[in-house]
Amino acid sequence: MPLKRRVGFVAGAAVGVAVLTALIVSYLVVRGQLLDQVDGALNAQMAAIQNHQLPLGASLPGIPPSAGGSTQYFQIIGADGTTLQDNVALPVSSHAKSVASGNGSAYSTDVNAGGTHWRVLTFPATLRVNVDQVTQGAVQLARPLNGTDHILANLRLILFLLFLGGIALAAALGRLAARRVLAPLSEVAQTATYIGETDDLSKRITVHADDEVGQLATRFNAMLEHLEGSRAALDESVRAQRQLVADASHELRTPVTSLRTNIEVLLAGGTISEEDRRRLLTDVVEQSEELSALVSDLIDLARGDEPPGDTEDVRLDRVVEESLARARRNAPGLRFQAQLEPVTLEGVAERLERAVNNLLDNAARHSPPDGTVEIDVDSAGVRVRDHGSGIDEEDLPHVFDRFYRGANVRGQQGSGLGLSIVRQVTEQHGGSVSAANPPMPLAPRDPPLASGHERPTQHVEQASEHGHDHHQQRAPRRAGAAGRDERDLDADRRDGCQQRGVRPVAGEVLSSRDLDHAKRHHDNSHDQCRPRAPTRQDRNTSDDERHPPSQDRELGHRQAPERARRPLPHSAQHPLPRVAISFRDGATFSPLLAAL
């Protein structure tokens, strides 16, 4: 039986039982009231009769008129149970004989006699045998109940009709209630059927009320939303896997084919000269290395699609410092200028290091000989910039795609997966990445922090001037800390000292000693123009002597030896480009950053 029919049946039965109970109670109450009226009349007559001694004998006049004897149906019973006098023949029961013998009290009962339904009241009475002798007996007073029975019969008919009407109404109300209560459940069933037939998880159920059924609909919608998101993620994962397999098969075909061809030529032997053999062997080694690097990148991409494992607080500046040491070993002919500030980021250190390695490898690969690669780490993130040939505008939207390589670098070494790994790692840490070419307006850096422990949004950035697969750009430095030269500062002084504070010379990085010196000037310069921080001419020791290029930077200090000696390699007409990778996790910075 369907649930709706069962609910309707139960509701109708409940209403029917309630109606039937009410009708039965009503009938009994009415019948009791009618019988009480008859009993009241009989009791009144009994009281009048008990005030007289009833004479017995042939000349017995019967019940006196004052007792209503001529209008009352009666029967007199002797002590032995015999009928002494009557005007209606009533059956004498054992109970009536007991009352007549003086062993019982008055009582009322219903009897049928002569085809009539009687209401009979039996009570004890004193009977006079003669003038000096009395005896014990009983009197039975009776009234016909034909009128009462007729009224009760009509009442039963009316109540029965009401019962039938109540049953019909209960069935209708039960069906209506079942339909109304189960309507949301029917909608859930219809939605489930629709989803099963069409595989469309975007369908939702309308929540009509905040009851149990409404809560069920709400949870069903939440489940559908979760399933829709899971399926979308699964579809995207399957699509990415298929794309990765397709791209990998395409990219692996060329080096594998070339490697196989060279090996077959070497195995064939013949008249190959020693020079050609060495060249082929060199090609085999290079192709093997290329193939190994490609497979390694593919493995990193495949592992990167998995959710990150346990995260921890990672010192981003230390990760960059280790990557810098590796980059200096791999590219000894380049200058790496670093400015590192302590930054703590929640994430996976191994993946972050791989992303930074890719940025530095890419910048080093496409930098000119004896070029400079600049990298900063601070509250704005990580910024890497090289001075290559730039990125073609049509390549910019695709530089982070897998296996994509710019038109001007397709003949160079590289798998086209470096920046794909960078983007993947960044997105797994809750960030985003983009790339652009200079020139670009130089935006001010973040204002100084109020304390040494803040949790703003993190950025990892790379600036680039070349067209290859790893392109990110550098965020602007804080206002007053870069992008200005001595002429700008002199112009500020000539403006009447409208702003006060410490402004280091463009391209220079202040040490703790410089900061203390500038701060003392600032505290005593309320009536003077803004003091300029000590320049490299004011220092007795050059930055190269204090910080050789191969020496690791001390964390917690804004130190960059090459930058401290000269302005950054851009001008106000060609400001640094900007690209950001935003991390949602918080960071902890050094107190020195707050002082700046």
DSSP 495: T
* Window from 120-134, 229-243, 492-506 with minimum mean pLDDT: 492-506
Give the DSSP per-residue string, 210-223: SSHHHHHHHHHHHH
Q: State the pLDDT at residue 410.
A: 56
Q: Which one of 333-337, 379-383, 493-497, 502-506 scores highest in mean pLDDT?
A: 333-337
b/e per residue, 171-189, with b = 16+ CB within 10 A? beebbebbeeebebeebbe
List Cβ neighbours of 463 (8 Å cut-off, separation of 6 or more).
374, 383, 384, 385, 386, 438, 472, 473, 474, 576, 577, 578, 579
pLDDT at 354 over 70: yes
Across 494-500, average pLDDT:
37
Q: What is the pLDDT of residues 516-550, one digit of tens each?
A: 443 444 344 334 333 333 333 333 333 333 333 33
What is the length of the chain?
596
pLDDT range class, residue 336, cuts 50, 70, 90: very high
Give the DSSP per-residue string, 145-191: -HHHHHHHHHHHHHHHHHHHHHHHHHHHHHHHHHHHHHHHHHHHHHH
pLDDT at 322 over 70: yes
- What is the second-level CATH architecture of the domain 214-304? Orthogonal Bundle (1.10)
Among candidates 492, 511, 496, which has minimal Cα distance to 558?
A: 511
Q: State the pLDDT at residue 153.
A: 92
Report CA Rg, the chain: 55
* Window from 243-247, 272-276, 298-302, 505-509 with minimum mean pLDDT: 505-509
Q: Is the pTM of this model over 0.85?
A: no
Among candidates 370, 361, 374, which has minimal Cα distance to 569?
A: 374
pLDDT at 337 over 80: yes
CA distances from 272 to 256, 261, 276 (A): 22, 14, 6
Domain boundaries for CATH 1.10.287.130 within the chain: 214-304
Domain boundaries for CATH 3.30.565.10 within the chain: 309-483+548-596
CA 112, 116, 117, 118 dihedral sign is: negative
CA distances from 573 to 253, 434, 441, 444, 569 (A): 46, 22, 9, 16, 12
Q: State the pLDDT at residue 465.
A: 40
Across 549-573, average pLDDT:
33
Residue type, 360: L
- What is the second-level CATH architecture of the domain 309-483+548-596? 2-Layer Sandwich (3.30)
Q: State the pLDDT at residue 30.
A: 92
* 473 close to 396: Cβ distance less than 8 angstroms: no
Q: State the pLDDT at residue 309.
A: 67
User: What is the residue-averaged pLDDT of the chain?
Assistant: 69
- pLDDT higher at 574 or 193: 193
Q: What is the pLDDT of residues 173-199, one digit of tens each?
A: 878 877 777 777 788 888 888 888 888
Q: State the pLDDT at residue 497.
A: 37
